[in-house]
Amino acid sequence: MAEQVITGYKRWLEGIGEQGVFFKNFSRNIFRGGFEWSEFVRQCYEIGYRSMMLVGITSFIMGMVLILQLRPAMLEMGAESILPKTLAVSFVREIGPVIIAIICAGKVASGIGAELGSMKVTEQIDAMEVSGANPLQYLVVTRILATSLMIPLLTVIGDAIGLFGGYLALNFTDDISFSLYFHKCIASLEFIDLFPALIKTVFFGFAIGFVGCYKGYNSNKGTESVGLAANSAVVTASLWIFVIDAVAVQITSLLFYR
C-alpha cells in the first residue's frame, strides 16, 4: 500500500517535471526560425469560429436560466429592478468566463488531445521530426497561442449573448426596453469587473491549449492512447480552469477589493 502511494507520488512528480520541460520547449519554439502564421490562423478558425455556435447557445441559455432563477428571489426582496445589474456582474465576472472555458475544455482540449494523439500513433509527429521540420512549432505553439487568443474572444461574444438571453427571459414576464436593459447592464460594469475577467480567460485558453497539446503529444503509441489522451485532456484542463479561477479571484480581491 505504502509502496503504491510512493510510486504514485513519484509518477505525479515526474509528470510535473515533464510538463515543465514541455513548457520550456514551447517557450523556446515560439519564434524560433519563423512563426507558422498560416497554421496559427487555421487553428484560430478551427478553435474560435467553429466553437462559436456552441458557446453562443450555451451562453444564451445560461443568461435566460439565470434571470428566470433569480427573478422570484429578487421579487420577494423588491429588488426586481437590479436584475440586469446582478446578471451582468455575475455573468461577466464569473459565470461567463468559467462556463465558456469549461465548454471549450470539452470541445477544444479533447479535440487537440485526440488529434495530436492520433498523429503520434500514426507516426506523423515522428515523420515531421525526422524530416528536420519542427513539430513543436507547427503543432504545439500554434494551437496554444490560438486557444490563448480565441477563448477570451469567445468569452466576450458569449457574455454579450448571455446578457441578450437574460433580456429575452426578463421580457417573458416583465416589460423592459432593449436600450434600458443594456444601459443598466453596461452601467453596472466597471473596469474591475471586465479587466480581471478578461485576463483570466487568457490563462484559461492557455491551460486548454497546453493541456490538450501535452496530453496528445506525449500519448503512447497505441490506439487506446488516443481516447485516453482526449479524456485526460478534458479532465485536466477543466481542473486547471477551476484552479486558475480560484487563484485569479484571490489576486483580484487582494488588488481591487481591499
**Site residues (vs other proteins, CB under 8 A):** 119, 122-124, 126-134, 138
Please say which residue, 39 or 174, places its beta carbon nearer to other proteins. Answer: 39
Could you please report the per-residue DSSP string of 202-224?
HHHHHHHHHHHHHHHHT--SSHH
Whole-number Cα distances in Å, 58 to 83, 98, 133, 167: 20, 12, 40, 15
Distance of closest approach, residue 145 Cβ to other proteins, in angstroms: 18
Q: How many CB atoms lie within 10 A of CB 252?
A: 18
Distance of closest approach, residue 83 Cβ to other proteins, in angstroms: 47
Distance of closest approach, residue 128 Cβ to other proteins, in angstroms: 7
Q: Which three cell numbers stand for residue 63?
A: 443568461
Please say which residue, 25 or 90, places its beta carbon nearer to other proteins. Answer: 25
3-state secondary structure 113-180: HHHHHHHHHCCHHHHHHHCCCCHHHHHHHHHHHHHHHHHHHHHHHHHHHHHHHHHHHHHHHCCCCHHH
Please say which residue, 131 or 179, places its beta carbon nearer to other proteins. Answer: 131
Distance of closest approach, residue 123 Cβ to other proteins, in angstroms: 4
Please say which residue, 16 or 130, places its beta carbon nearer to other proteins. Answer: 130
C-alpha 240/C-alpha 246 separation (Å) is 10
Please say which residue, 62 or 140, places its beta carbon nearer to other proteins. Answer: 140
Q: Which three cell numbers stand for residue 185?
A: 447592464
Distance of closest approach, residue 24 Cβ to other proteins, in angstroms: 13
Closest CA to 218 of 85, 117, 78: 117
Whole-number Cα distances in Å, 102 to 17, 143, 178, 248: 25, 17, 29, 16
C-alpha 77/C-alpha 122 separation (Å) is 62
Please say which residue, 119 or 241, places its beta carbon nearer to other proteins. Answer: 119
Distance of closest approach, residue 54 Cβ to other proteins, in angstroms: 21
Distance of closest approach, residue 138 Cβ to other proteins, in angstroms: 7
Please say which residue, 1 or 130, places its beta carbon nearer to other proteins. Answer: 130
